[in-house]
Amino acid sequence: MAQNDTLINGWQPVIGLEIHVQLQTNTKLFSPAKNQFGEEANTLVDLIDMGLPGVLPVLNDGAVKQGIAFGLATNAEIAKTMVFDRKNYFYPDLPKGYQITQLHYPIVKNGVVDVEGKQVRIHQAHLEEDAGKSMHDIYDSESVVDLNRSGVPLLEIVSEPDIRSAQEAVKYLKKIHQIITYLDISDGDMSQGSMRCDANVSIMQPDDKEFGIRAEIKNINSFRFVEKAINFEIKRQIKVLESGDKVEQETRLYDSIKDETRSMRTKEFANDYRYFPCPDLVPYEISKDLVKKVNDNLSELPEEKQKRLMETHNLNEYDAGVLCADKSTADFFEEVVKEADAELTAKWIIGDLNALLNKNDISLKESKVEAANFSKLIQNISDNTISGKIAKDVLDEVWQSGEDVAKIIEGQGMQQISDEGELEKIIDKILAENTSQVEAYKSGKEKLFGFFVGQVMKATQGKANPGLVNQLLKKKLN
């Protein structure tokens, strides 16, 4: 059975993820304040986000539409009526003393996503407001709060415990990332906190009927840490159980520096959130019309895009799949091929560009490589202005400086030499300087052909058009 691959020391890990996604609406979930990241502290704050006495929340329809879009993309049930609840707890970055969320009647229920052939079920996805941000390290003896994030709309996506390994968890998380970025409902940037992940982890014996006691790991803020945190937690639980102890139901915090999870609070000290329906917001009816409208305007999903790229650009399934894994890459490809050859573009993105991205561990958006510029690079390869080898150097230069491809080629004299007369002169000179090799070649040592090509390339610093060099050499030697 495939599942047995996931056993660790005979134990079966069982994992469920809770993923918080910040939605990209213009304004906040319940206030007219702007929803933006990176502004000066406390500048995007409305009376409502401050929790002043007497203020009331008004639901942002944009967030509702984005929630519906996610439901449609995951084949989920969209609620006919959704209800907002209050989750009560005290914290300085929670100005009202409660968070408005959805407990029993979420916007989305019972979805499913395909993770490399495996179905991972989504229990529910619900709308809720984000809290502000507490900062404890700005002043010596005081903590401060930035309320810009207070009231930012979140979609919390709760999976069923269908995941069986840390690697699978990462794949599922990447799949969700892919869906939300394709739907354009979030930038999914984990480093900025616009996608955050908590993991529920337990272990059991493969033939156990019930799951083990789970621990919830909070504060995991990168794909890499998701894998590390879960693997650490699995090993910790195995150690606990194998030494005859019991795993405690608790919340644990992942420390990425020490690569370990630490107990944050045990069940006895768990908050009692005293949930109840928020009386300031009437139950919200989602009409069939609204769902249809969202569906009609639904962005292209990864599978659809992959199919379309295969059809319109004649790509093979693998290449199209790699390009569509990440929406920004697929968009980049489409931008580049407006002017450049598709097959060559795919080859260069999947090969050299991806290698650079992986090596430097950054995203395409963060790099200095722009689609229009990259397109010029491909065009220059296509029309033989530069050779593939030179193109690699040009790409390196673009990667470093973001400089215009045409300027790099011109400035460094990288254009390919395709002038027959010029090449002939060079070839003649090389043949004259290497008479013994010419003799040997003519007497049957055909392997020497490569030697001559190499000499030409050396003399031209690699700029000679290889096809033309071959052609001319053959003519002269035979």
Partner 1 sequence: MNFQEIRNNFRDKKVSAKELTEESLKKAKDKSDLNAFISHFEEYALERASYIDTNFDQYIDKPLGGIPIAHKDIFCTDGRKTTCASKMLENFVPPYESTVTKNCNNAGSIMIGKTNMDEFAMGSSNETSFFGPVKNPWDDSLVPGGSSGGSAACVAADITTISTGTDTGGSIRQPAALCGITGLKPTYGLVSRWGMIAFCSSMDQAGPIARDAFACSALLNAMASYDDKDSTCSKRESVDYEKGLSKDFGKLKIGVLKGVENLGISEEVLKAYESSKKILEQLGHSFVELDFTELSSGICSYYVIAPAECSSNLSRFDGIKYGYRSEAKNLSELYLKTRAEGFGDEVQKRILIGSYVLSAGFYDAYYRKAQKVRRMIKSKFDEFFMDVDLVFLPTTLDQAFEMNRESSDPNRMYKEDLLTIPANLAGLPAMSLPNGFSKNLPIGVQFVGNYFSEELLLNTAHKMQEVTDWHKMTP
Among 38, 117, 244, 279, binds partner 1 (CB under 8 A): 279
Got the DSSP string for 172-204? Answer: HHHHHHHHHHHTTS----TTTTSEEEEEEEEEE
Q: How far apart are the first and last CA of the chain?
A: 63
Decide: is 98 part of the binding site for partner 1 (CB under 8 A): yes
Least distance from partner 1 to the Cβ atom of residue 145, Å: 8
- Least Å distance between CB 208 and partner 1? 28
Q: Which of 65, 96, 228, 313 binds partner 1 (CB under 8 A)?
A: 96
Enumerate residues 129-188 that contact partner 1 by CB under 8 A.
145
CB 118 within 8 A of CB 168: yes
Query: Six-digit token pair at 102?
Result: 């959805």
Q: Chain centroid to CA 184: how far?
A: 12
Do residues 17 and 175 make contact, with C-beta atoms less than 8 angstroms apart? no
Exactly one of 7, 8, 41, 50 binds partner 1 (CB under 8 A); that residue is 50
The Cα-based distances of 91 to 98, 145, 354, 362 in angstroms read 9, 10, 43, 35
Q: CB 96 → partner 1: shortest distance, Å?
A: 5
- Which lies closer to partner 1 via its Cβ, residue 47 or residue 406? 47
Nearer to partner 1 (CB atom), residue 150 or residue 380: 150
Number of residues interacting with partner 1: please give it, by CB under 8 A: 28
CB of 140 to partner 1, least distance (A): 16
437 binds partner 1 (CB under 8 A): no
Q: Contact between 241 and partner 1 (CB under 8 A)?
A: no
- How far is residue 147's CA from residue 129's CA, in Å, rounded to a whole number? 12
Q: Which two tokens stand for residue 237?
A: 């639980």
* Residue for token pair 């608790």: 250
281 contributes a contact to partner 1 by CB under 8 A: yes
The pair of structure tokens assigned to 175 is 């799949």
Is 275 or 451 the residue whose CB approaches partner 1 more closely?
Answer: 275
Residue 417, CA distances (Å) to 14, 377, 384 in order: 61, 17, 9
42 part of the interface to partner 1, by CB under 8 A: no
Taking the C-alpha atoms of residue 134 and residue 255, their distance in angstroms, rounded to an integer, is 18
Task: Give the range of 85-93, 194-202, 321-329, 385-393 binding partner 1 by CB under 8 A.
Answer: 85-93
Cβ distance to partner 1 smaller for residue 284 or 374: 284
Least Å from the CB of residue 28 to partner 1: 14
47 touching partner 1, by CB under 8 A: yes
Residue with smaller CB distance to partner 1, 48 or 122: 48
When binding is defined by CB under 8 A, the residue of 90, 269, 288, 450 that contacts partner 1 is: 90
230 Cβ contact partners less than 8 Å away, ≥ 6 residues apart: 13, 15, 166, 169, 199, 201, 217
Q: Which stretch binds partner 1 (CB under 8 A): 55-63, 356-364, 393-401, 447-455?
A: 55-63
Contacts made by residues 315-319, CB under 8 angstroms, sequence distance 24+? 315/342, 315/343, 315/346, 319/346, 319/347, 319/350
Which residues of the shown chain bind partner 1 in the complex (CB under 8 A)? 47, 50-59, 86, 88, 90, 92, 95-98, 145, 272, 274-276, 279-282
